[in-house]
Amino acid sequence: MSSNTLSRTLNDVGLAAWFGGTLANAVALNPAAGAADSPSGVGSVANTGWDRWTPVNAAAIGAHLVGSTGLLLGNKGRVVGQRGVASTSLVKTALTGAAIGVTAYSRMLGRRVSADTQVPAESGTEPSTRTPRDVAEAQRKLKLLQWAVPALTAAMIVLDARLGEQQRPSNVVEGVLDKVTARVPGLS
């Protein structure tokens, strides 16, 4: 039996940073930017914060993807042979794809907002009456999306916990036996 310590670490640390960083930005950075000295300073603070977070977030997502792939490959026997592991893995994969899509779309909108670093705004996701129309539209979308990434990544954390529980020896035995007996006529 080989160790999955590196893969598990990349999976967990990458996902923790992805979740925690986007949640902190939604809870703290976006509203706190509203405390800037001037309306144009609001946009500057929020844009600077998000622009600094972007490369860290990209590294976190990359680490998570490498770690998740390593865990999937390291547990391929359980994925195929233990009831429930494949379906949980598929749901996590779908959520990962959705989180990546929302993250990428949010970044695209964020670029639109940060193109003018001194844009007037009420907060990182609240336009003011002086905010240019295209930036205001992007901010309104970002106001909703800023919560989508933490929600999706939190769901992935829950599924990782479920996958960990499925590795308990008693769950492995039960899952393998259930899968075998379901395939043998008269045993299920």
Structure tokens at 165: 């529980």
Q: Is 65 inside a domain boundary? A: yes
Instruction: Render pLDDT for 60-80 as a digit per residue (tens, 0 to 9).
Output: 999 999 999 999 999 999 899
Q: Does some domain include residue 23?
A: yes
Of residues 2 and 155, more confidence is placed in 155
Inform me whether the pLDDT recorded for 151 exceeds 90.
yes
Residue 22 lies in a domain: yes
187 pLDDT tier (thresholds 50, 70, 90):
low
Measured between alpha carbons, how far is 17 from 26 in angstroms, rounded to an integer?
14
| pLDDT reported for residue 105 | 97
**Residue numbers of the domain that contains 91:** 5-177
How many domains are there within the chain? 1
pLDDT at 1: 46
Give pTM, 2 decimals. Answer: 0.87
Contact status, residue 85 vs residue 176, Cβ threshold 8 Å: no
Q: Is residue 49 part of a domain?
A: yes
Report, as an integer, the average pLDDT of 1-10.
Answer: 86
The pLDDT of residue 188 is 61
Say if 40 falls within a structural domain: yes
Span 21-75, pLDDT tens digits: 999 999 999 999 989 888 888 888 888 898 899 999 999 999 999 999 999 999 9
136 versus 39: the higher-pLDDT residue is 136
